[in-house]
Amino acid sequence: MGYTWKWKHIVCYFYFSVVLMTNGSADNQRTAEELQNDVKQNKYVLVLFVNGNKESTKAATTAFTQISTPDLYDQDILKVRCGDQTLATSLGVRSYPQLVFYRSQVPALYDGDFATPSIQPWLEQAREVTLQTLDDTSFEHLTQASTGATTGDWLVIFYRESCQEQLPALEGAGVLIKQKTNVAKVKIDDSPETVKRFQIRTCPTTYLFHHSKMYAYISQTSSDVYRVKSLVSFATSWYKNVKGVKVPSIPTAFDKLTEFIADSLKENFDVQIPKGGNLMLKGGAVLAVIAFIVTIVTTMCSRNATKRAKED
């Protein structure tokens, strides 16, 4: 009797030790709200998104519980599971089971083999956030896109709040290509000049900036759009199958002036002229503006020619 009682205690102790070592695998299921709180309170949160498939969930959970925090981390990784498919979809999850890794509240999709030997090296690479934020004031300064200078290649996504579920996939790709390619995001509504410069019309839009040329992102198959592997493939080699376009230069003050005048002329001509209206007056105004532009251009060309003559 005493022998049996002793072994029961040993088994119980061993069981609870395993549970603690695996971050409480028996009770680490989270709702969407609970997960959001975890992400706010913990620097590193690894989430296993699962669906109703018991077989795949069981196999994934087994691998998941064996994951450990890499040595270089300054905090332990909190490991939790979540079955909220609405939240999963908003993070770009398209199949289950799926790992999403939050670092300082920034999610990255994992798109590798679902086995501990594959996940552990990825976690070591994914410790730091790779996705940078660009806007009108920082885009050209950091990317040097039009000059093709020394900052390297840039894979940049233009997005809005309403179309940002692709960001975790781009972050996941950034983990794998960060040694060669920078990844960044530009919020469309906050960067009107950059959006106009690159004529962004759809959301999201992604370009690879490489050697003063820009390549519009396309995936090898329609089903792979904004998957980590597709983004990595495009940034490293597949972009060569896309026609590159010369990166437009930053508009000068004169460019902006002439564009403003052109837009004003277009707006005036689009206005319907009433019967007996001031057609001659409008025509005279248009001619005056054109003459003004010609004068400015002629003056600038003359100054440049004089400057070159003096230098010679």
Over residues 153-182, mean pLDDT: 97
What mean pLDDT is predicted for residues 43-57? 93
Specify the pLDDT at position 220: 80
Q: What angle do CA 183, 187, 190 make, to 5 degrees?
A: 140
Give the pLDDT score at 4: 52
97-127 pLDDT per residue, tens: 999 999 999 999 999 988 888 999 999 999 9
**How would residue 13 be classed by pLDDT, with cut points 50, 70 and 90?**
very low
Kindly report whether the global pTM for this prediction surpasses the value 0.85: no
In the predicted structure, residue 41 carries a pLDDT above the cut 70: yes
pLDDT in tens, 209-251: 999 999 999 988 776 789 999 999 999 999 999 999 999 998 7
For the chain, give the number of residues. 312
Average pLDDT over residues 247-267: 67
* The amino acid at 135: D
| 29-30 vs 78-82, strand pairing mode | parallel
pLDDT at 170 over 60: yes
Residue where the block lists tokens 């501990």: 116
Lowest mean pLDDT among 56-65, 120-129, 214-223, 261-270: 261-270
Rounded distance between C-alpha atoms, residue 184 and residue 51, angstroms: 31
- The rounded distance, in Å, linking the Cα atoms of 275 and 86 is 59
CA angle 61, 45, 88 (to 5 degrees): 70
